[in-house]
Structure 1
Amino acid sequence: MKTIKILLVDDDLKNSMLLKRFIEAEGYEVIYANNGKVGLEMYREIRPDLILLDINMPELDGF
């Protein structure tokens, strides 16, 4: 069975790493990006199954 890939895009590193650990404990693959610009580049590269996206970020917001 294919592992579901989740792209987590958020500029709050501490909370993002906590959330990442919880999600990975459920068997999902989590890729982290620290701002919207990096997140957009990673989206184009890895094509995740789901994106968890913060809306207030530097560089490029979640909207």
Structure 2
Amino acid sequence: MSTWPTTASAMLISAGLHGHKYAIDAAVAEMALRQRRPVVMLTSDIDDMAKLCGDRVRLVAV
């Protein structure tokens, strides 16, 4: 059984984000953080992903 919903929810809370608008971002961020480093994520939402991933994932704007 996966724990990603709980972890993604905790990430939202710690980033000060809430609601369905950020749910997918949190799920994607959580999955990125589980990958072997280095991790690069292409995203159109640098600001929110930076709040969720911190400096643990290299974010590249598309």
- TM-score normalised by the shorter chain: which range applies? 0.3 to 0.5
The structure whose RCO (Cα within 8 Å, separation 6+) is larger is 1
**Structure with a larger share of its residues in strand:** 1
TM-score, normalised to structure 1's length?
0.32
